[in-house]
Amino acid sequence: MQTNPSSPGHRTQAPPQRAKRRFVRPVELRPDPVVRASEDGKTVFVALGGTYGTGKWMTLDASDWAEVRASHGDRWGWNLNGQRRNGRVVCGAGRLAHVARQNGERPTAVLARIIAGAKRGQVVCYRNGSGLDLRRANLAVLSQAEAARRLAALRRLSA
């Protein structure tokens, strides 16, 4: 309701409040990961991303990389285990929650378990000790008891 501004009973409605705009950081498009093939074409080397993955390369069989890239994507990073000595190649994308069979806000999928086809209760061990070597020949699927015996034997040898 508006009246004449010069009249003594002048009333105006307040202008509508505008919502405050938050600054939204522009989204940077990540480049495709660098993938290099070996001379024989059977093995590929893929650059990892993320905080701890920069400068690291994972090694996979070419057929496994084609399958994993098509079904799960190509954004993989390096996740440190508690001791900061060992790590594993993971993807933390929520779209992989069904693969990891985890509930929660931040599920992760471990690439070695996907390639080896490990089920719940099984442990994937790296035969040469490198978590970046994900060729099938380097992955061994063990029960938890077998993995504990293997770890105990390795500790006895190193002591």
> Mean of the pLDDT values across residues 105-131?
84
Between CA 59 and CA 52 the distance in angstroms is 17
> Mean of the pLDDT values across residues 145-158?
84
Rounded percentage of the chain residues whose pLDDT exceeds 90: 19
65 pLDDT higher than 70: yes
Task: Give the mean pLDDT of the chain.
Answer: 77
Between CA 88 and CA 97 the distance in angstroms is 17
35-158 CATH choice from 1.20.59, 3.90.75, 3.30.1380, 3.30.499: 3.90.75
Which helix H or strand E contains 124, and what residues bound it? strand 122-126
pLDDT digits 0-9 by tens, 4-55: 555 565 666 666 666 666 655 555 555 667 888 888 989 999 988 877 778 8
For 159, which DSSP code? -
pLDDT digits 0-9 by tens, 72-98: 777 788 877 655 566 778 775 544 555
Residue 139 contacts residue 116 (beta carbons within 8 Å): yes
pTM of the model: 0.68
**Confidence tier at 61 by pLDDT (50, 70, 90):** very high
**Confidence tier at 60 by pLDDT (50, 70, 90):** very high
Between CA 129 and CA 111 the distance in angstroms is 16
pLDDT value, residue 74 = 78
pLDDT value, residue 18 = 65
Rounded percentage of the chain residues whose pLDDT exceeds 70: 65
